[in-house]
Amino acid sequence: MEGRTAALFIIGLVIGIIIGFFAVHAAVKPAAPTTITKTVTVTSTVTGTVTKTETAAAPKPSKKIHVLVLFDVGGRGDLSFNDMAWLGAERAAKELGVDVSFATPRSTADMVPLLERLSKSGKYDLIVLIGFLWTSPVEKVAPKYPQQKYALIDSATRKPLPNVACYVFREQELAALVGVIAADMAHNLGGDKVGAVAGMDIPPLWRFHIGYLFGVKYYEKMTGNKTSVLWVYTGTFTDPAKGKEAAMALIRQGARVLYGLAGATHLGMFEAVKEVSEHGHLVLAIGEDASQEWIDPYHIPISGMKRVDNAVFRAIEDVVKGTFKGGIHSLGLKEGGLGLSTLKMVKWFAELAAKQGKLPKGLTPDKVVKIVEEMRKKYIDKEAWNLVHKLEQEIISGKIRFKTPMTHKEYDQIIAALKKGDLNAALVKPMQTS
């Protein structure tokens, strides 16, 4: 989903399509003043605009590489894309010996002039742009500075630019794994329906829908447990009230597990799940984009994750190795661009939430991990995990390759066929029966 911060999650209109990928651009309220920080290993903050950290033992390239990571207007502390980007850049500083700086624009209006100024400076071998909001700015600025390399994360320019590497994700692959788990949890709760609270009716969500429904029907085919999917578009990524309302409607229709695919909107879905469960009707939720278990570990056993950290690391590594290439870079399970939340990642985000004072009262990072581990053991069978691993390997090996619908009509046709159990309708080549 395109870019999305738990702090702001601001998305507006679709700005482009490249191999099925659309980006969304919207106005956002001003954030904190633009600051630049530099990283290496022992952190020391300099009052004003610069924070520097030095890495003593990191392997160093022959030429010191300087990288700038530009967050979206939410900046660090969003417990989502920006924090994941920071994690990937920190890893690059330690493992690749590069010099990494960070900056956050004051507002969307500041993005173009900020990018122009930083590009003109010539200080950076690579400028990494986090999220769809940077799509339009880089389209305007990059052609003026052909020697400056850029990496755009979770979006793509409308036309290929030789100095802009665009990292996008094959959402179907992740959603398929989530679908298997959602279906299994629903049956362990005594139900046969799962749901999803989605944001806008745009191509990234089409891909999530196709993958989720595929995973559910794959589970049905392999286990014989009939399961249906309830899907609703709320039309927004910024309205928790609408998310709660949509979730309540899905629960009334019989959904026992809900997948959140609507940014801030699906925070309302989490509220609905907790409220209904506390009144004696247990419903579970699945987070997305970042590890969201810490929000309510008693009702959110697992999350799907876009590994923005790995995308950022990969972009920096390409510059270090001299293999940078503009255009589209598609990331899926094979490339480590997507994955289910591990307990290690659950703890990392819980620790981050605790530092920011956002962890719910009575919880500690260790307690969050313990609860999540217990919930997974209780509501996700070993058989389901075996199916997840089998499906994951089939995707990684290329035996299963998903179609990318180019039109809404094609998307509708795939969904209609999947509902009837035709798994091949979502695939480039028919599945090999075993």
Number of Cβ within 10 Å of residue 159's Cβ equals: 10
Q: Smallest Cα–Cα separation from 332: which of 127, 139, 177, 111?
A: 177
Q: d(Cα 376, Cα 188) in Å, to the nearest integer? A: 11
In angstroms, rounded to a whole number, what is the distance separating the alpha carbons of residues 149 and 28?
A: 26
Q: How far apart are CA 288 and CA 178, in angstroms?
A: 10
- Amino acid (1-letter code) at residue 301: P
Phi, psi of 74 (to 5 degrees): -75, -30
Sorted by sequence, the CB contacts under 8 Å of residue 164 that are 6+ apart come out as: 138, 142, 150, 151, 152, 157, 326, 327
> What are the angstrom distances between the C-alpha of 172 and each of 4, 105, 144, 215?
18, 32, 36, 9
> What are residue 272's phi and psi, to 5 degrees?
-65, -45
What count of Cα atoms within 13 Å lies in the side-chain half-sphere of residue 43? 12
CA–CA gap between residue 177 and residue 379 (Å, rounded): 15
CB 167 within 8 A of CB 151: yes
DSSP state of 21: E
- Tokens 């398929």 correspond to 176
Question: What is the model's pTM?
Answer: 0.82
The radius of gyration of the chain from alpha carbons, rounded to an integer in Å, stands at 21
How far apart, in Å, are the Cα atoms of 96 and each of 49, 52, 59, 291, 419? 25, 17, 6, 26, 47
- State how far the Cα of 93 lies from the Cα of 313, in Å rounded to an integer: 9
* Residue from 126, 137, 122, 15 nearest 72 by CA: 137
- 225: tokens are 């447990």
Maximum CA pair distance of the chain? 63
Q: What b/e readout covers 360-386, taking b as 16+ CB neighbours within 10 angstroms?
A: eeebebeebbebbeebbeebbbeebee
C-alpha angle with apex 224: 218 to 225, nearest 5 degrees? 85
Secondary structure (3-state) at 183: helix
What is the block-wise mean pLDDT of the chain (434 residues), using blocks of 10 residues? 38 36 34 53 27 38 87 86 94 97 94 97 97 94 98 95 97 98 98 97 93 98 97 94 98 98 94 97 96 98 96 98 97 97 96 95 97 98 98 97 96 98 97 70
CA dist., res. 37 & res. 33, Å (int): 13
- Positions of E strands within 48-200: 51-54, 66-70, 99-103, 126-130, 149-153, 164-169, 193-198
Q: Which domains does the chain have, with CATH numbers?
A: 13-169+308-338 (3.40.50.2300), 171-289+361-426 (3.40.50.2300)
Which residues lie across from 284 on neighbouring strands? 257
Paired residues of 25 in beta bridges: 13
Residue 258's pLDDT is 98
Dihedral over alpha carbons 400, 186, 377, 175 (to 10 degrees):
30
Residue 91 burial (C-beta neighbours within 10 Å; 0-12, 13-18, 19+):
middle
